[in-house]
Structure 1
Amino acid sequence: MRYKFAAENRVGKYLSYAIGEILLVVIGILIALQVNNWNEERKQHVAFKRTLEALRQDLNYNIYLANSDIIDAYNKDSIITMALNNKITRDMYRENPDFRNAINSRYFYPVQDNLSAALSFENHIPNRYMSIVPQLKLLSAQFDRWQDSYSISFETVINYNDWLTDRFSWYSRNDSLAVESNIDYLLNDPVYLNKLSFFRNNYLNNTIWNVTILRSLSAGILAKLEQIEKSEKESDINALFDQLRLKPYNHISDTTGFTTDQQVQFRTGSLIYNATNQTITVFRIIDFRRNYPRTLNPGDFYTPITNGGDLVEVVYENQDSQFYQTVIDGYLLIE
């Protein structure tokens, strides 16, 4: 047909026909590319959901490991407090080796690979999950802070053990005389108490604090996924937190005469989660005054510092408010 148009010198019609053919080819290519993009995006979404499920298992596992380290830290804190207040007797040191070995650190092995994998999908994450990206990035940064603090604590313990080895011959022995010499040192050497205080500040107040923040961030992300994937009737965030061995804050109906009663002597991270459909503001109450305001939009959460026993106030959009007392291993779910 082209040749017929050309032969009849119908240039205009020939050009129109040629342009039409070109447009059809271009449209066909564009459609093919769009279909290919749709298919690729669908594959990315499927891969992300698979990674997200693996990440959910990792978060649960990491919380399980963190809980074990945190319980050990509470025991250490109790021993250190007793030692600093001269409440441990010779017999107590004899009967409980943990009392003689307060300056040591544990290392838990959190799983991070699927967190990095999930963040690698950032440009292909389904819209319904986009709200968790900032929290995933916070968790990734928190892993780095925890690792840095652990490295410092580990070096502190190594240096202390080297110091003991160089100074005391009994340190490398396990006989009864060595045990008694060790107890003499624990009871009478003021340097030990200084090192104990330094260890509490270095390990409990930093490394374990970072572990509690890791736990709270992980629990918050699991709660957010619960909200995203289930209807309001189906989701049960309280049950989720209970399963993770977290404890709810205590509701305070009357703050008259309230006094802070710290549960531990080092800072920990807890969790405040806004599961309502309104913006709220959380205050920490110190000397009956509002401090450190934190605004939470619906679905937001944060990890405030607490020693347990602090007073917080939740203020709603209509200016109604509720008071709560923090607890260690604690959370506040605002519904």
Structure 2
Amino acid sequence: MVDNKTGKYLIYALSEILLVVVGILIALQIEGWKEEKENNEKTKVILGQILTELEHNVLSGVNNIIGFNKKDSLMKQVLDRKLAYQDYAESDELRSLITSYYWLELYNSAYQKLMAHQEKLDPTYIVLTEQIVNLYSTTMYRVQEEYAQIGDNVDRAVKHMSMNCPWYSNTLPQHMDQQIEYMLSDPIYFNMVKSMKGIGGENFLKNMIDFNHEAIDVYKAIHKKLGLNTPYPEVVDRIKDYPESVLNEYEGIYTFGNKSHELQVKFGKLGNHTEQNWIYFTEPDRAEYLYEIDLIEFIRNEDSLITGFEYTYRGEKQYWSKVD
């Protein structure tokens, strides 16, 4: 009789313990679901902040691309000795060509938040996060490195002129004459222009273009991941994404200058730019390389087949024929 009561008591006690354990496990599971939901919500908030950050960075990049492309064109004219006294006299920008540069401010505070939150990211965000990390830690880093070198070059030019050119701190007409004569003839000045052109007009400009286009791709990937129905901002929407069925007819071999130059147009998986030549479409039959500076317009015959394209390179037009 005692043994029977003891057995019932043990069964009862074990049942109570089991209920407590199950309750704890359910509570932990609910807490886990709650934490996962909060983490996902926080991830979405941070990604939304990165969208805002990218829009600012792309716009800042556009301003620098346009500005430094203009500087690059002017520096080429300086080095080719194509400028005269009157050109300098009428242009403050020419006279400050290597002693000033455009302001660039690339934000990364939202990206830093994402990195601090990285261990709590849902696995479905891994690929997107890798894209974002590459943009900020690699492409943006190159831009910032080149931009810092531009600043160093400007500092060296200012220091050289302030120490060696009596006219530097004066504003009288005769001092401007001395400044222009210096810029038209001094070999050290030409060397400084060449150095600035290599860093700012070529290296920085290329990396800034790469950053902007990659940032636009990342913006669109985040926008899609978040399932947003809002339209892209204008600075993002100007680069179009077309399906393979549309891009196929643009691919082929194009030649210029009695076939002395050859270009293969072949599009990558992203569906908006070529794999090697970084041609981006802004609308059907129209593409660009340097943000409305170097423009490409594809030409069609009466049968609506592409026969070539007209390439406007810094104001000069080239016609490229499609041969394949």
Is TM (by shorter chain) over 0.5? yes
2:109 pairs with 1:113: yes
Q: Deviations over 1:251-301 (max 9, x none)?
A: 7476353469xxxxxxxxxxxxxxxxxxxxxxxxx85679xx9974xx698
Cα offset, 1:166, TM superposition: 1.0
C-alpha distance in 1 between matches for 2:205 and 2:69: 10
Q: Quote the residue 2:140 is aligned against.
A: 143
**Residue identity opposite 1:58 in structure 2:** E
Q: Quote the residue 2:289 is aligned against.
A: 327
2:61 pairs with 1:66: yes
Q: Closer, same or farther in 2 for the Cα pair 1:50/1:303, shift >3 Å? A: farther
Q: Closer, same or farther in 2 for the Cα pair 1:258/1:13, shift >3 Å? A: farther
8 Å contact kept, 1:241–1:247: no
Q: Quote the residue 2:86 is aligned against.
A: 91
Cα offset, 1:194, TM superposition: 1.7
Q: Quote the residue 1:211 is aligned against.
A: 208
**Residue identity opposite 2:148 in structure 1:** S
Cα offset, 1:230, TM superposition: 4.5
Q: Closer, same or farther in 2 for the Cα pair 1:302/1:19, shift >3 Å? A: farther
Q: Deviations over 1:142-197 (max 9, x none)?
A: 33332222222211210111011111111111211111111111111122222111
Cα offset, 1:74, TM superposition: 1.1
2:153 pairs with 1:161: no
Q: Deviations over 1:205-244 (max 9, x none)?
A: 233333223212221111113333459xx797xxx48643
Q: Quote the residue 1:316 is aligned against.
A: none
Q: Closer, same or farther in 2 for the Cα pair 1:303/1:193, shift >3 Å? A: farther
Q: Pick one of 132, 141, 147 that aligns with 2:128.
A: 132
SS of the equivalent of 2:255 reads coil
C-alpha distance in 1 between matches for 2:162 and 2:203: 26
Percent identity over paired residues: 21
Q: Which region of structure 1 is more displaced relative to structure 2, 221-230 or 240-249?
A: 240-249
SS of the equivalent of 2:159 reads helix
Unaligned runs of 5+ in 2: 242-246, 297-324
Q: Quote the residue 2:312 is aligned against.
A: none
Unaligned runs of 5+ in 1: 261-285, 312-322
Q: Deviations over 1:15-54 (max 9, x none)?
A: 3332222221111111101111111111122222222222
2:253 pairs with 1:255: yes
The two structures have a TM-score, normalised by structure 2, of 0.73
C-alpha distance in 2 between matches for 1:253 and 1:59: 31
Q: Deviations over 1:111-132 (max 9, x none)?
A: 2111111233334335554431
Q: Quote the residue 2:46 is aligned against.
A: 51
C-alpha distance in 1 between matches for 2:129 and 2:205: 25
Q: Closer, same or farther in 2 for the Cα pair 1:169/1:227, shift >3 Å? A: same
- Let me know the Cα RMSD of the aligned residues: 3.7
C-alpha distance in 1 between matches for 2:170 and 2:216: 44
Q: Quote the residue 1:271 is aligned against.
A: none
C-alpha distance in 2 between matches for 1:257 and 1:305: 16
Q: Closer, same or farther in 2 for the Cα pair 1:36/1:91, shift >3 Å? A: same
The two structures have a TM-score, normalised by structure 1, of 0.71
8 Å contact kept, 1:66–1:215: yes
> Structure 2 matches for 1:208-287, cutoff 5 A?
208-230=205-227, 240=232, 243-244=235-236, 246=238, 252=250, 255-258=253-256, 287=262
Q: How many residues of Structure 1 are paired with residues of Structure 2 in the alignment?
A: 281
8 Å contact kept, 2:54–2:219: yes
Q: Quote the residue 1:36 is aligned against.
A: 31
